[in-house]
Chain A
Amino acid sequence: MNFEQIVAHIKTSLGEEFILSTDENASPKAIIVKAENLVEIMDFLQKDDQLYIDSLSCITGLDNGPEANTMEMIYNLYSIPFNHHLMVKVELSREKPVIDSLCGLWRTADWQEREVYDLYGIHFNNHPDLRRILMPADWDGFPLRKDYQEQEYYRGIKVEY
């Protein structure tokens, strides 16, 4: 299936309101969905007979900075049997970045979401084990945010990069 067919299929099966807009400029082409619909759409994409998008390749968090005041979550999906692909984007508010976890659908989401939580501070509902994964547990702040101020000393070690 190509991108237009996938979008049409989602719209006829789930409803028009589930896809806010599309981004044809992105590669793979992207659909933009609401945060509260994410799990429902992903569940449909994974289980539907015609789409059968079984592989969640990459989860990316993104901070648009204090001026835009938004954060984004980007999911790159691939179907192994049908060889079609899709990017799903979700926009979140920067004050309270909360989104539902996909751990119930893909177990690979576990560590990748922990990484996003670690570096961006986006909170995942229903995540079984939301701890920091790469940074030390007692580190201050979320390093990949655009307005991140690194702490000057960490246990007497000068922090500079």
Chain B
Amino acid sequence: MANQVQYIFDKENLRKSAPQKFKSEDLKREEMIVNIGPQHPSTHGVLRLEVLAKGEEVIEVVPHLGYLHRCFEKHAEKLPYNQIIPFVDRMDYLAAMNTEHAYAMGVERMLGIDKIIPKRVEYIRVLVAELNRLASHFIALGSYGMDIGAVTAFFWMTRDREHIVRLLEWASGARMLYNYIWVGGLFYDLPVGFEERCLEFTTYLKPKIRELERVVIDNKIFIDRTANVGVLPVDLAINYGITGPMLRGSGLKYDLRKVDGYSVYPEIDFDIPVGKGEAGTLGDCWDRTWVRVQECYESIKIIEQCLEKLITEHKRTRDFDPRALAPKKIRPKAQDFYIRAENPKGETGFFFRADGRSDVPFRCKARGASFVNLSIINELAKGGLISDLVAVIGSIDIVLGEVDR
């Protein structure tokens, strides 16, 4: 083992595996290629950007992906439906509950058991998914502040996220990758005392978000860095398949929680915040960030209503078994199925083809919201400055686990 070659080194390796689009020989006067990433804090993970710049001005951005590619879809073709859930967690690792929820819901609908899932299970699912949405938005907002130069926000947001992560750890046993929502039920019921602690937490959290708003969103420096930067018109957004807070930041009121009305969302009262262009042009980086902050308030509203229901109408009983409906053998009828759900980043979709003969999906395709949202980066960044490029990447809010899958 000692003499075994680990990696055959060649100077040309990078050039062969991820060829640059631009060559230094072909550049015009004053043009240059700036390489950002894959190891750079402002790319939010292992994303490499090849930037053709003229002085400070960006002419074109070419993203190079795949540094975190695990081929989830190949793994999914070899595993039974319930064993895919841990893999699904690792796609959008900042919002694993939401992705699990979408996946479990899809498989349940294929099996035809989605209508008989107990209400308590559904409310717990929405509760944990919204907690996770808060956690994901906190990371987005905190790290965005850091990109722009406001370091305080990141510490505040990680502090508050820690509470959520600990709550979810209490419920599921894991901090980030939960495997909590199962096909047909849940891993466990909520621990005793969870509802009260969660209610305490939401009371604590509301002023903290207001505080964040005052420190980051209303800050003069922040507005100067983000208003009128990376303006995304709504028609372009739809053409590029953009979803989630980015689309709503452009002023379109489109949220799959309302449109598709899955799970118990139709029974819950909440608003969909849309960008209004208060600081600058409609659909700029500031609008997208503002929408995320407002969504935090809405998530708290949803959490409080879920808790209310979980304490009164669907309260914990001694004989309640969240796994009672979880099927031992998951074998859907032969069909093609597409499910989509609203994640913190946008629309997450799963396409299944079941052959009706096995417990393993014939094909399981994941549509990553970050992957599709990232594809617009060149449109947003070109013509701006390199410092604006950093602001644009942060406002897209990508998770590289989902981009590369």
Residues of A within 8 A of B3 (CB): none
Is B55 an interface position by the 8 A CB rule?
Answer: no
Specify the main secondary structure of chain B where it touches its partner.
mixed
Residues of B within 8 A of A54 (CB): 238-239
Interface string of B373-387 (1 = CB under 8 A from A): 011000000000000
Contact between chains at A87 and B16 (CB < 8 Å): no
Contact of B240 among A28, A58, A107, A134 (CB under 8 A): A107
Residues of B within 8 A of A27 (CB): 109, 335-338
Contact between chains at A58 and B338 (CB < 8 Å): yes
Is A15 an interface position by the 8 A CB rule?
Answer: no
Q: How far is the CA of A20 from the CA of B94 in the complex (A)?
A: 43
Q: How far is the CA of A57 from the CA of B336 in the complex (A)?
A: 15
Contact of B372 among A25, A108, A119 (CB under 8 A): A108
- Counting chain A residues whose Cβ lies within 8 A of the other chain, the interface size class is 35 or more
Is A83 an interface position by the 8 A CB rule?
Answer: yes
Contact between chains at A80 and B336 (CB < 8 Å): no
Q: How far is the CA of A112 from the CA of B340 in the complex (A)?
A: 16
Contact of A144 among B73, B238, B404 (CB under 8 A): B73
Residues of B within 8 A of A56 (CB): 241
Residues of B within 8 A of A30 (CB): 336
Is A18 an interface position by the 8 A CB rule?
Answer: no
Is B270 an interface position by the 8 A CB rule?
Answer: no
Contact between chains at B338 and A87 (CB < 8 Å): yes
Determine how close the nearest CB of chain B comes to the CB of A128; give it in whole angstroms. 12
Is A111 an interface position by the 8 A CB rule?
Answer: yes
Q: How far is the CA of A108 from the CA of B367 in the complex (A)?
A: 12
Contact between chains at A108 and B404 (CB < 8 Å): no
Contact residues of A between 25 and 45, Cβ < 8 Å to B = 25-28, 30
Residues of A within 8 A of B349 (CB): 57-58, 76
Residues of A participating in the B interface, judged by any CB pair closer than 8 Å = 23, 25-28, 30, 54-58, 60, 62, 74, 76, 80, 83, 87, 89, 106-108, 110-112, 115, 119, 132-139, 143-144, 155-157, 161
